[in-house]
Each structure stands twice: as C-alpha cells, then as structure tokens.
Amino acid sequence: MDPTPDGVPAFELPDVESEIVYVLDDDPAMRSGLRKLLTLSGYDVREFGAPRECLDSIDPGSPKLVITDHEMPEMTGTRFASEALAINPDLRVVLLTGAGGEDVAQAALRAGAFDYLRKPFEPSELLRTTSAAFVDHARLEYQRDMDVWLRAEVKRGTELLRRVTLGTITSLMNAAEASTPQFRGHSLRVAECATGIAEALGLEPADVGPIRTAALLHDVGMVAVPDAVLNKPGTLSRNEFALVAEHCRFGAELLKPLEHIGPVATYVLEHHERLDGSGYPDGKKGDEISLGGQIVGLAEAWSALTEDRPFRERMSPQDAVATLVGGAGAWFRADLIDALRQWRASARAGIPKDLTILAIHEEEPALDALAATLEGAGFVVERARSGLEAVGVYTSSDLDVVLADFAATTGDGIGLIRWLTRLNARVPVVAIGRGEGSDWEEKAREVGVETALERPFSDAELVAAIESAYRSQEVP
C-alpha cells in the first residue's frame, strides 16, 4: 500500500480487476453460474470440483478468497475452511449452504469462515460479500503496515508519531464502512453530533478534539464482524450479538498503539456502555464510564435511531430524542441529553432559510405536496416533472439539495440520479420511494444518493432528511 505524503500507511480499496477468486463446488452447473457472475463483475475466477484439489492450490500467501459449497462428498465446507486456513491463515472463506441453517452458519464462523450465504441468494448478495471479503483482507494488510510503521517510528523517536493525520483517520474509517453501504457516512454523523454535545456542555477544545476523533472511529472494530451478521434483517442470535459486541474491544485494541491520541481508545471501548450496567462489552456502570465514552455513546445512539437498519425503519430526529429522554438516568446522563437537545436546536437554527431544493416528481399533485411541505419549512423550491426539466434546472440554478422520486422520469430514476451526481457530486440527493420488498434503497445509494426516504413518511421526516443531507456536505 502506498503511504500518504507524510509516510503514514494509507488504506486502499481493492482493485477488482486484480483479484482472484477460487470457486469450490462439486456441482458443475453451480460452479459455472458463480464463475459467470463473478467474471462479469471483473474478478479472475478459478474453478475447483473437489476440496483436495483446491487445498493443493492454496499457498500461504494466496489466494485471498475462496467461495465454497458446504455439502460436498469429500468433506464439508466447514472442514475445508479449517484445513484451508491452516495453510493460509489470511484466507477469506465464504460458505454457501442450503442445509443446517443456523447451526451450519455458526459452525462455519467457528471454523474461521469470513461469512456465509444461505441458498438461494441474490446475485447482489454474493457480489457484496465478495467485495467485503477483499476489503477485509485489505484491512488486515493495512493493519500490519500500520503496525510496522508505528514500531519503526517508535524506534526513531519521530515527532510524526505524536499526531494522527486526517488521512490516517479517514483510512481507518474507510476500512470500517467500505463494505457496508448502509453505514456509509454514519461515522461523520456521529462525530457531528458528539462534537455538538461536547460543545453544548461547555467542554474545552482540548477535550472536544479526542471526543470527535473517537466518534469518527467508534465503529472501526466493525471490520471484524461478518456482513451476514451486520445485514441480518431479524433478531441476532446470542452468538451473533457476541460478535457485534466485540467490535468495541477490537476497535480499542486497534487504536491502543496510537498513544498520542490520548483517551480515544477508551472512548471507543466504552461507547456502548450504559449507566445502569446494561451495556457492553464490560457492563460498566455510572462513573465507571468516562464522560467521552458517554458522549460518543449518546451521539451514536441518536444517529442510529435516525438511520435505516435491516431490522427496523428510521425514527424522526424528534422521536429519537424522545426515546433517549425516556432512558435518561438509566442509559445516559440527563445533562448529556439536555446538551443533545441544545445541539439539535442550534443545528436546526443553522440551516439557511434560503436553502434551495430541486424537487423532482412526474405526478403534479405529489410534486405540489412535496413543495408545500418544504416551502412551509422555509426552503426555496425549484420544481421539475421530467428528467429534461430537472437537467435544465440543475444546470442553471444554484442548488443545495435535490429531492427525487426514485421512479421519476418514466421509471428511470436511477439513470437520472446517476447523471446528476456525476455532474456535481457536491449537491446531495434525497431519494423517495416505496420498498415493498425491493432493494431500491441499496440501488439508490449505489448511484450516489445521500438519504433514502421510504413512503409513507411524515412532513417532519421529509424536512429532517433534507436537513441531514445538507449537513452531510458541511461536515469537514
């Protein structure tokens, strides 16, 4: 990995066209289907019909990823994972299983598999997991490079070791969020909120800085949690929750060598602890939890409640605050929640009254209703009922946010949004649509949408989505 200009190792996303994927399955038709899908996505694929044949082709340094079936005559995929990892401990193994359900999945993870997919699965699921596996491998290489660099700098006694550059922080954050689209931008939102709470409390700048840094890096330990667990739509099993809970400890361990960033590792470790001892990973209570850990934890809780998750829909900012108020004294200190409310009030006051929104919807009554809500909130609204009108307004007006119906312009909302974001990526896009079991939100984010808002939504949720999208561009 190439270093940053000051010599600090930089995290780099893998290049698809340079990556090799081993596919192991005793079913020729399944192998062929996987090969075609992965090849079309740019990967170099090598097929194997028997586990021993594949094991013989694994070296200590290669490949980086094997996708394997579980039910095979020669051995199970779980056993294959154990033997393959004994040869190449850095190998990422993704298990495909149609039998055994939860038991097989847990056995695979215990054997060291990176992730698992239950058949039948969508092609997008396989491609997402494949990408995540390579990102995780890159994260491992980055961690090693960082460790080598730190040890060398310690020996040299360099002044560079006394600071973490913005590039280093961004690299760590990218490693945590790159493989999971729903979390992209989450750390910046938590950092914005945590900073606001700390400043509302009147903390000195020297104390606010580590809190903001910890908020940016609070979920860096998520790189150790399989995507299948992070994206699970239902309730997590006990073992799955234990995996998630460990992200706090893993993140803290990753940051501990950076002694010059002060209490950041402690805040990261404690951001899921709660006053009544119901939190994790250590069940700390009351004053055992640092002020920074409490602030980052509150900021993360508020941000998470206002974001979509596989197992629930987002809350409005107001409802999220009300939920946290209900836990005052049990989860978080009451004075911190008051500071959160102060920050919310000041943040809302900071939204320009002349914020200009381009609203795109091909149905005039719906467009009128959207415009009325936004104008009622004090925004300036430009309207467009077609892609052609939208392009005309977009290229001739100074816009702050675009609000687009995802099915706009005769069903080609995706194409329109992609074109707009490529033309000017600095103008955030809020997309509205109806889920009904589709993956429209994921598709929307893939083409650059900042916020996806699913119908039906309230006027308050619409205004909050516009504000959130606008503020996302303002976070340094």
Outline where 88-202 has alpha helix (H).
101-110, 123-156, 166-177, 186-200
Closest by CA position to 451, among listed 470, 434, 431: 431
Of 323, 349, 375, the position where a domain reaches its end is 349
Task: Tell me: do 413 and 329 sit in the same domain.
Answer: no
Q: Which two tokens stand for residue 412?
A: 């080609």
In this structure, are 171 and 304 located in the same domain? yes
339, 194: one domain: yes
Distances (CA, A) of 412 to 135, 314, 399, 407, 408: 31, 26, 22, 6, 6
Does residue 169 share a domain with residue 312? yes
Q: Are 229 and 329 within one domain?
A: yes
Output the CA torsion sign for 124, 129, 133, 135. Answer: positive
- Is 149 within a domain? no
Work out whether strand 451-454 and strand 401-405 pair parallel, antiparallel, or are unpaired: unpaired
Residue 421 lies in a domain: yes
d(CA 314, CA 398): 30
DSSP designation for 23: E
Please give the span between the terminal C-alpha atoms of the chain, in angstroms, as a whole number. Answer: 25
CA atoms of 379 and 354, how far apart (whole Å): 6
For residues 216 and 270, give the distance between their C-alpha atoms in angstroms, rounded to a whole number. Answer: 14
Is 156 contained in some domain? no
Tell me which residue has tokens 């004090």. 378
- pLDDT per residue of the chain (476 residues) written in tens, 0 to 9: 555 545 666 656 677 778 899 999 999 999 999 999 999 888 999 999 999 999 999 998 889 999 999 989 999 999 999 999 999 989 999 999 875 566 787 788 888 888 888 888 888 888 888 888 887 788 778 767 765 665 565 455 455 444 544 445 555 555 555 555 556 567 878 888 999 999 999 999 999 999 998 998 888 777 667 666 766 767 777 777 777 888 898 888 777 767 777 899 999 999 999 999 999 999 999 999 999 999 999 999 998 888 766 666 777 777 888 889 887 788 999 999 999 988 887 766 566 667 889 998 888 888 888 888 888 777 889 888 877 777 777 766 778 888 888 765 334 566 677 777 666 666 888 888 775 445 677 777 777 776 778 777 777 778 888 888 887 665 43
Q: Are residues 195 and 279 in the same domain?
A: yes
Number of domains in the chain: 3
**φ and ψ of 47, to 5 deg:** -100, 145
DSSP 351: S
Q: Domain boundary residue among 318, 349, 380? A: 349
Residue 452 CA to residue 443 CA, distance in Å, equals 10
Q: The domain spanning residue 252 has which CATH number?
A: 1.10.3210.10
Q: Cα dist. 47→18, 90, 161 in Å?
A: 17, 20, 46
3-state class (DSSP) for residue 93: strand
385 and 457 part of one domain: yes
Task: Tell me what pLDDT residue 428 has.
Answer: 84
Ramachandran region of residue 410, left (φ > 0), alpha (ψ -120 to 50) or beta?
Answer: left
Identify the domain containing residue 464 by its residue range: 356-472
Both tokens assigned to 388: 């052609």
Asked whether the beta carbons of 136 and 9 are under 8 A apart, the reply is no
* 181 and 291 both lie in a single domain: yes
Q: Look at residue 316 in the predicted model and tell me its pLDDT.
A: 75
Q: What CATH number corresponds to the domain at position 89?
A: 3.40.50.2300
Nearest residue to 25 (alpha-carbon basis) of 77, 65, 63, 98:
77
Does residue 10 lie in a domain region?
no
Beta-carbon contacts of residue 93 (< 8 Å; ≥ 6 apart):
65, 66, 67, 68, 77, 80, 81, 84, 85, 108, 112, 113, 114
Does residue 222 fall inside a structural domain? Answer: yes
Structural domain ending residue among the three candidates 349, 377, 397: 349
The pLDDT score that the predictor gives to residue 112 is 86
Per-residue pLDDT, 166: 42
The verdict on 280 and 205 lying in the same domain is yes
Contact 151, 145 (CB under 8 A): no
Three-state secondary-structure class, residue 444: helix
- For residue 411, the model assigns a pLDDT of 47
Rounded CA-CA distance 355/332 in Å is 34
Q: Side chain identity at 294, as an amino acid letter?
A: Q
The answer to whether the beta carbons of residues 460 and 468 sit under 8 Å apart is no
What is the model's pTM? Answer: 0.48
Q: Answer yes or no: do 443 and 337 share one domain.
A: no
Q: Does one domain contain both 76 and 41?
A: yes
The sheet carrying 356-360 orders its strands as 380-384, 356-360, 401-405, 429-433, 451-454
pLDDT at residue 165, as a whole number? 45
| Residue 11 within a domain | no
Same domain for 393 and 280: no
Residue 453 DSSP symbol: E
Domain contains 308:
yes
Tokens of 61: 């340094």
The interaxial angle of helices 205-216 and 186-200, nearest 10 deg, is 160
Q: Which residue has the tokens 């629930």?
A: 312
On whether residue 142 sits in a domain, the answer given is no
Provide the residue type at 77 as one letter.
G
